[in-house]
Structure 1
Amino acid sequence: MVKYVRLPIVDDCSLEIMLEVLSHYPSINNVDLYLEVKPVSDQATRKRSRQGDTNVDGSVRDDTLGTQQKGNSNGWLEDEENMDDEDCEIGVGNAVAQKDSRMKKPGLTKGLRDSVSKQVIFSSSWLDERELHVGMIFIDKDELEKAVELYSNRRQREYIAYEDRLVFMCKKRKVCGWVLNAAETKSGGLEITEYTDPHTCKPVDVGADFLAGEIEGLIKAHPSLSITELSKWVKKEFGYTVSGDNMWNAKKKAITTILGDLDKSFSVLPKLMAALCSSNKMVLDWQCDAFPDPKDSSFRSVFWAFQQSVEGFSPCRPLILVDTVDLSGKYPGKMLVAAGLDAENSLFPLAFAITTQESLSADTWRWFFACIRKKVTQREGICLITSPNPDIVAVVNEPEFQWAQHRFCLRHLCFKFYDVFKNNLMTEFVYKAGSTKYISSFDDYLMKIEEMNPEARKWLDQISLHQWALAHDSDRLRFGIMTTNLIFTTYSFINKSRDLPITACILLIFDHLAELFKTRLGFLDESLKNRGEVYATHVMTKLEEYKLASRTHDVLPLDQTPERFQVTKVMQPANKKFFVHCSDRVCTCQTWQVYKYPCSHVIAVCRRLNFDHLQYVNDFYKTESFRGVYAAVFNPLPGVSDWLEASEVPRPFPPGSPPRSAVKPVTTESPRNNSAKASDANTGASGQSETRRSGRPKKPNSKYGI
C-alpha cells in the first residue's frame, strides 16, 4: 500500500511524501519517513496524487490466505487516525513543515537542502527485503541494528554486533565471511561503507520472539490457524523452515500479545468463548462470584465441550476417563479433562473445565459431572474411571449419580498407596495385582503384600475390589483400561503453557483438537481406501498374532452343540487347558471378555468350525465406526476484531478480586437445586489429594508402569 501527500513549498517545487507499507511484513511496527524534494510538473503531481488516492481507498487482497480485505483491515498495521491533505503535519528532525493558509513560503531546513543535491537511498528500502549494500543510509544506530536484525532473521543467520565500532559479523565467522561496516555521515546518519555477502554458513532456526512478531497479524486475522498451516505460510512468505516447537512457542507469544496478559485475559475470555460457540456450536457453562455491580464478577470456573466431540463420542466405547492438569502461575488452577478412547485406544477429547485452585471441591466435581450429563452425553452404562479423590467418590455415590459405574485409576491408587507406606516393592505388587486378569494371580500378590505389611493389606481391603482390580471387574466395563495418565501425556503441552493467560490455554486446546480430528480422519480414510482394514489397526495386528499362535492349539468339543470347547496348547510341558463358550463369548484366558475381541483359543475353535473369527470382534473397533468418531469438522474462528461482546455472563475479573467477603456466589446454570448454597464453602483442601502435576510427580517406581 502506497500513500502520497503533496505540499507546495516554493515556486515550481512541491514536497512529496511517499509512505510505503508492505502488508506482508507483520513485524514492522514503526516506519520512519525520509523526504526527497524534486521539481515536478503540476500535471504529473496531480496524476500521482490521484494514483495515491486510488491505492488508499481500494481493496487489499491477501493472496496467501485467499481473503478479500478492504481499506486497512489487513491485520498487519492499523492507522490510529486518517491523514487529511487539509491538515497534515510532518516532522523531519527538528523541522516541521505545515500547510496553512497563513504560511506562504516556508523555508527548507539545512539537512533537507543538503539532501536535494545528491541521490538519497531511503532507509525504508530494506523493508522490501532487498539485499543490504554499500551506500545504504540509515537515520541512526537503532535503525541500522533493526535492519541487520531483520535481514539476519529472514535468512536464518546469527550475527555478532560490535556496536562501538558499528561492525556486524556472522557468528560463525571462522567459516563464513559475512561482514557489514557502517560509518557516520556528515548529516548525522549512518552509511554502510563495507559489506561482504552472501553468508556461506548453514541456516539456523529463527527465534520465537521474532517469529511471534511475524505471525502476530496473521493470527489476529485468523486465530485458528494450526501450527502446520503457520509453518507453511512462513515457508512460503519468507522462505525459511521453522521447527514445530519453535512455531508453537511463537504462537503462544503472539496469542498472549493479542489477547492480553494474565489479568486482561479474564475479561477477554467471554468474547473468545462466544466466538467458539458461534463458530463451532460449543456448549458452555460458567461459575463466577458476583460483584456488587451485576455487570462484573470474579472468575471461578468455566466448562466447555465442542459439538464435534459430542457427536464423535457415540461410536466410542462407553468409557470416560477423567483427570486433572495443574495450571500454575499467578492464578493457580486446575484443568479438568473428560475423555473417551477411540478404536485405537487413543485419547478422544470430550469435555474440559478450568477452575481456580481454591474452588476445586465436591461442589465443583458435582457441577462438572452434571455438565457432562446434561450437555455432552446421555448414554447409559458408562464406565467412569477417575482418581480415588474423596470428593469425586462422595459425588458419584450420591443417589442422583446413577448413569455411570465408577472405577479407580490404578496409577492414582498406587500413588496414594505409596504416600502411605513408602515402599516401592509393595507398590509394585499393588500395580501387578490390579492389572492381572486372573483371580489366582491377584490373590498371590495380595498374599505377598500381607506378608510384608499386614496394615497394607488391611488398607487395600477397605477398597471395593471391582473398583481397582481388573480380575474382579465382573461386568468387564473397563475394556482393559486401567489408568487415566493418557490424559496427562496427551495434554502435556498445557504444562508448557501453564503460565500463559487462560485465553491462550483454551485457544491452544482448540488448535490441538482441530488438528487432531483432521489428522486422524485422513489416516482412517487412507486405511479404508488403501489397506481395506475392517477393524482398527492394533486389533488386526493382535488377531494376526493370535491366528499364528492358534496353529499350535488342540480343540476338543465338550458336547454335541458347537458351543463349549476345551483348548490345549501342544508342545507345552504343563499342557494347560482353556475352555471356550461361544454363545457366552467367554474364554478362561479372560482376553475375550476383557478386550472384546477373540483370543488364540477362540480363533482355534473358529477354524475347527469353519467360522469367521471376525464376527466376534466388538463393533466399537470397526474402522467405519471409528471414522465416524472424527467425521465432524472444526470451523475456523473469526478474526479477533470480529468477536462480539458476550452477554450471558458478567465480565469476569481475575480470581480473588475483590475480597470474597464482599461477594455472593452465582452460577449460570445450577447442576442441582442446592448447589449454590455451598459454593462459598469451597476450601480446596480435599482437592489436594488430586495427582501432583507441578514439576515431576513423585513416583514410587517406573517399573510397574506408573
Structure 2
Amino acid sequence: MAETHIWQLRRINDKHKCSREFNVKMLNAKWLSSRLENTLRDNPSLRVVDIRNKVTRKWNIAVTKSMARRAKTLAVEQVDGSFVEQFSRIYDYAHEILRSNPGSTTKVKVEGNEGEKYFSRFYMCLKAYKDSMISCRPFIGLDGCFLKHKYGGELLTAVGRDANDQMLPISCAVVEVENKDTWTWFLELLIDDLGGPDICAAYTFMSDQQKGLLPAIQSLLPRADQRFCMRHLYANFRKKFPGKNLKALMYWSKSRFIPRPLCDTLVNNMSEAFNNVIVQARSKPIVSMMEEIRLYMMQRWVENRSKAKSFKNSICPRIKTRLDIETKNSTNWIPSWSANQIFEVRHKSFTGEKFVVNIDSKHYTYRKWSLTGIPCCHAVAAIKFLNLSEEDFLPHWFRISTYEETSNSIIYPCNGQQVWTETEFPDVLPPPKRILPGRPKKKRRLEAWEMNKNGKQITKHGMTKKCSICKEVGHNRKSCPQQPEPAPPSQPTPPTEPTPSTQPTPSTETASPTATVARSQPTPPTEPTPPTQPPPPTPMTQPTQASQQPPPTPMSQPTQSSQQPP
C-alpha cells in the first residue's frame, strides 16, 4: 500500500485577538473578475462604484478604483469577447454571414502597413433586409453614431419605414471616421444592394447634419430627393432667430415636399430610434456588436409575423388610428358637390376656410392627402358624401398584406466562433487608436436648450449673454461700458466732544443721631485712569437709609457726606 499523507484536525482555536484587515493583498483583479461575470451579464451598465460597494458588502474588503476598473475590463472580455481576437477573425465572421444567409452582402476593408493588415471598414446587408425593402415606400433615413469603445469609430446606418410606419433597418457599416469618403463608400454598396442608381434615384433620403453626406449623395444620385431633419435645422436657426413665431413659419417647409414617398415626416426619428436600440451594443467588440444587431432584427421579424396574424383589419394599426382621427374631424366640414367627384369643402363655422377636393386624382388644395397617402378630414367629408369607404382610398403601402410581405423574409441564425470556417485571409489587427485630448466621452453632446435644470427651466450653458442696460450681446450689466457710475460714499461725521458741566454742591439732609456714611456712585471717566483702592467702610451701629443721594460727580475716590447734628 502506497504511503499517504493524512492530516487530522484535533482542535481549533476560533478566538482571535488580532484586528481586522480591510486591505487584503491576496485579492487581485483576475480573481475578482471571475466573480463579476454573472453580474455583468445581468447588468451590462455596471459601474465601478457599484463593484466596490458589492465587494465591501459581500466580503467586507476594500478595493481600490483601479483594481475595480481592471476587474471589470477582464470580466467584460470574458462576457463579450476580446477586441483583438474579434478583429483578427473579421474575415471568418463575414464568411459565416454569407454561408448562413445566402444572397447577403459583406465587405471588409483593411489597410496594409509593413506587411500587417489593420482593420478599416466593415459593411453588412442581409438578404432579408433587401427583400423587405421592396415592399416599403421609397424613403430612407441615413444617420451615423459613435462607437463607445477604446478603438473608436463610427456606425453608419440606413433605416426605412414599413407598412405600419415603423422602422426597418436596411444596412449598417463600421467606418473609421465620418466624412465624404466613408459616406460615398457606404452609399455605393447600399445603392448596389437596392437595385442600382436608376431605382435609387426615385428614393427620398432624410439625414441630419452629417459630415460629407450631402456632397456624397449629390455625386452618386444627383436626381434624388433629399430632406433634412427639422430638429437639427431649428437648433442652428434658433441661435440667431429665436422665437415661437419664426419656429412656426419654419415648419411650413413641408409645403415643398414631393408626394412620391407618401411620407410627410419632418424629423429623422426612425434612425434615432434605431441608434437608441443598439446603444448598449455600440460599446462591445465588432463581432459581438454586429451579432447583437442581427439577433435583434431576427427576433423583430418573428414578432412582426406574429402580430400580422393577430390583426383583424385590412389596414395597419398605426395607419388606422390616423385615419380614424381624420374621420372624426370630418364632421366639422361641409362638402358641396360640383361635378363628377369634384367638391368644394368649407368649414361649418363659415369663417371663409374652404378647399377644392378631387377624389379621382386624389388632389386638393391642402395637399395633405397627396403627401401622406391618407385621406384627410376634407377628403373624408367628400368621400362620405358619396357613401363610400375611406379605407378604399388608401394605397397598398399601408395594408396588412404588404406588412406580411415585409416580414415574410427570414433572417437565418449563425454559428458561434468555435465552428467558423477559417479562411485563408491573414489575421487583421485592430485599427490604430486615435487619442483625443480630454477625457473620453460616451454621451452625446447636448445643446443648450436640451439641458434642463428641474424639468421646467433650462440652463444658460451655451447661450449668448445679453446686457440688460444697453441690450447688446457679449457682456452683462456688470461689465457694461454704459453702466452709471456709483455715487461716492458719504463721509462719516466726527463725534463731538462733551462740554464740561459745573459740579453741583452736595446737599445734606437731616439724619439720625448716629453717623452714617453714604458713598456717591462714580461714573466711568472718558479716559481710562488707574483704579484706586477705596478706604474700608466705617462700622455702623444702626443701619439708616439715606433719603436722597447726591448726583454723581467725576472723581477718582469716593467722598464721605458731612454729618449734621440733630
TM-score (norm: length of structure 1): 0.51
Mark the CA change 1:268 to 1:254 in structure 2 (over 3 Å): closer, same or farther: farther
Partner of 1:322: 142
User: Are the equivalent residues in 2 in contact too, given 1:283–1:305 (CA < 8 A)?
Assistant: yes
CA–CA separation in structure 1 for the residues paired with 2:74 and 2:357: 59
2:157 partner SS: strand
RMSD over aligned CA atoms reads: 3.5
* 1:122-137 mapped onto 2 (5 Å cutoff): none
Q: Which amino acid aligns with 1:612?
A: S
For 1:589, the aligned partner's letter is Y
1:433 corresponds in structure 2 to 249
Does the C-alpha gap of structure 1 residues 391 and 524 become closer, same or farther in structure 2, counting only changes over 3 Å? same
Write the distance in 2 (CA, Å) between the matches of 1:539 and 1:253.
Answer: 49
- Return closer, same or farther for 1:699/1:537 CA change in 2, 3 Å cut-off: farther
Task: Give the counterpart of 2:270 among 476, 486, 491.
Answer: 486
Say if 1:256 and 1:501, in contact at 8 Å, map to a contact too.
no
Counterpart of 1:700 in structure 2 is: 449
Q: Distance in 1 between matches of 2:79 and 2:245?
A: 51
Query: What amino acid sits opposite 2:446 in the alignment?
Result: P
Q: In the TM superposition, what is the alpha-carbon distance from 1:588 to its structure 2 partner?
A: 2.4
**Structure 2 residue identity aligned to 1:655:** P
Aligned residues: 396
The answer to whether the 8 A contact 1:319-1:382 is kept is yes
Which residue does 1:397 correspond to in 2? 218
Q: 1:414 aligns with which of 234, 242, 246?
A: 234
In structure 2, which of residues 293, 297, 305 is the aligned counterpart of residue 521 of structure 1?
A: 305
- Displacement of 1:575 after TM fit? 4.5
Preserved CA contact (<8 Å) 1:256 1:500: no
Q: Which amino acid aligns with 2:267?
A: T
The 5 Å alignment of 1:64-463 reads: 106-111=2-7, 209-210=37-38, 256-257=77-78, 260-281=81-102, 282-293=104-115, 296-357=116-177, 360-378=178-196, 379-380=199-200, 381-389=202-210, 391-398=212-219, 400-402=220-222, 404-418=224-238, 421=239, 424-425=242-243, 432-436=248-252
Equivalent residues of 1:434, 1:470 under 8 A apart: no
Residue aligning to 2:462: none
Query: Which residue is equivalent to 1:39?
Result: none
Q: Deviations over 1:658-684 (max 9, x none)?
A: x9xxxxxxxxxxxxxxxxxxxxxxxx9
What percent of counterpart residues are identical?
18
Which residue, 347, 361, 371 being the options, matches 1:584?
361
After superposition, give the CA deviation of every residue in 1:561-591 in whole Å (9 maximum; x if it has no partner): x232101121x25141121012221132332
Equivalent residue for 1:565?
343
Alpha-carbon contact 2:308-2:404 (below 8 Å) kept: yes
Q: Give the match for residue 335 of structure 2.
A: 555
Deviates more, 1:589-598 or 1:540-549: 540-549
Q: Per-residue displacement from partner, 1:225-264 (whole Å, max 9, x unpaired)?
A: xxxxxxxxxxxxxxxxxxxxxxxxxxx9988426632333
Equivalents in 1 of 2:293, 2:383: separation in Å? 46
| CA distance 1:254–1:614, shift in 2 (3 Å) | farther
Task: Find the aligned partners of 1:287 and 1:384 in 2 and give their Cα distance.
Answer: 26
**Is there any run of 5+ residues in structure 1 with no aligned partner, and where?**
1-9, 11-105, 119-162, 166-206, 216-251, 437-468, 660-683, 685-691
Q: Quickly say closer, same or farther: Cα 1:339–1:213, change in 2 above 3 A.
A: closer
Structure 1 residues 214 and 477: alpha-carbon distance in aligned structure 2, compared to 1, 3 A threshold: closer
Q: Give the Cα separation in 2 of the matches to 1:487 and 1:213.
A: 27
Deviates more, 1:635-644 or 1:489-498: 489-498
User: Once the two structures are superposed, what CA deviation does each residue of 1:636-666 show, in whole Å capped at 9, x if it has no partner?
Assistant: 221321011234x543211128x9xxxxxxx
SS at match of 1:313: helix
Q: 1:106-143 CA deviation, whole Å, 9 max, x = no partner?
A: 211123xx59xx9xxxxxxxxxxxxxxxxxxxxxxxxx
Is the contact made by 1:306 and 1:351 (CA closer than 8 Å) also made in structure 2?
yes
Match status 1:656 vs 2:432: yes
Separation in 2, partners of 1:254, 1:629 = 40
User: In 2, Cα distance between the equivalents of 1:553 and 1:423?
Assistant: 37
SS of 2:82's partner is coil
C-alpha distance in 1, partners of 2:110/2:149? 20
Q: Offset at 1:513?
A: 0.8
What's the CA shift string for 1:443-501, capped at 9, x where partnerless? xxxxxxxxxxxxxxxxxxxxxxxxxx211124454611222133223322433343322
Distance in 1 (CA, whole Å) between partners of 2:382 and 2:420 is: 62
Runs of 5+ unmatched residues, structure 2: 11-17, 21-34, 44-72, 453-566
Does 1:625 pair with 2:409?
no
Q: For residue 78 of structure 2, give the secondary structure of its aligned residue in structure 1.
A: helix
| Per-residue deviation, residues 288-331 of structure 1 (Å, max 9, x unmatched) | 212332xx411111111111111111111100100011113311
Please report how far the alpha carbon of residue 362 of structure 1 lies from its aligned counterpart in structure 2 after TM superposition. 1.0
Distance 2:75 2:392 in 1: 52
Partner in structure 1 of residue 550 of structure 2: none
Task: Say if 1:424 and 1:701, in contact at 8 Å, map to a contact too.
Answer: no
Counterpart-to-counterpart distance in 1, 2:283 and 2:347: 57
Question: For 1:584 and 1:569, how far apart are their aligned partners in 2?
Answer: 22
Amino acid in structure 1 at the alignment position of 2:300 = L
- CA distance in 1 between counterparts of 2:389 and 2:149 reads 57
Matching of residue 641 in structure 1 with residue 418 in structure 2: yes
Could you say if the C-alpha distance between residues 431 and 701 of structure 1 is closer, same or farther in structure 2, counting changes exceeding 3 Å? farther
- Cα shift at 1:616: 1.6
Distance 1:411 1:478 in 2: 20
Aligned amino acid, residue 153 of structure 2: G
Alignment partners' CA distance in 1, 2:112 and 2:183: 21
Q: Distance in 2 between matches of 1:214 and 1:701?
A: 31
Alignment of 1:616 onto 2:432: no
Choose between structure 1 and 2: higher strand proportion.
Answer: 1
Counterpart in 1 of 2:512? none
Aligned-partner Cα distance in 2 for 1:496–1:279: 25
CA positional deviation for 1:615: 2.5
Residues 563 and 473 of structure 1: CA distance in aligned 2, closer, same or farther (over 3 Å): same
- TM-superposed CA distance for 1:612, in Å, is 2.8
- Asked if residue 539 in structure 1 is aligned to residue 319 in structure 2, the reply is yes
Deviation at residue 340 of structure 1 after TM alignment: 0.2
Task: Check whether the contact 1:410–1:431 (CA below 8 A) recurs between aligned residues.
Answer: no
Change (3 A) 1:476 1:522: same
TM-score by length of 2: 0.63
Aligned-partner SS, 1:354: strand
CA distance in 1, matches of 2:400, 2:451: 34
Q: Which amino acid aligns with 1:326?
A: F
Of structures 1 and 2, the larger Rg is shown by 2
Distance 1:214 1:539, change over 3 A: closer
State whether residues 325 and 693 of structure 1, in contact with CA within 8 Å, keep that contact through their aligned partners in structure 2.
no
8 A contact 2:259–2:370 mirrored in 1: no
Tell me if structure 2 keeps the 8 A contact 1:290–1:298.
yes
The amino acid across from 2:345 in the alignment is V
Q: Which has the higher helix share?
A: 1
Q: Distance in 2 between matches of 1:303 and 1:693?
A: 23
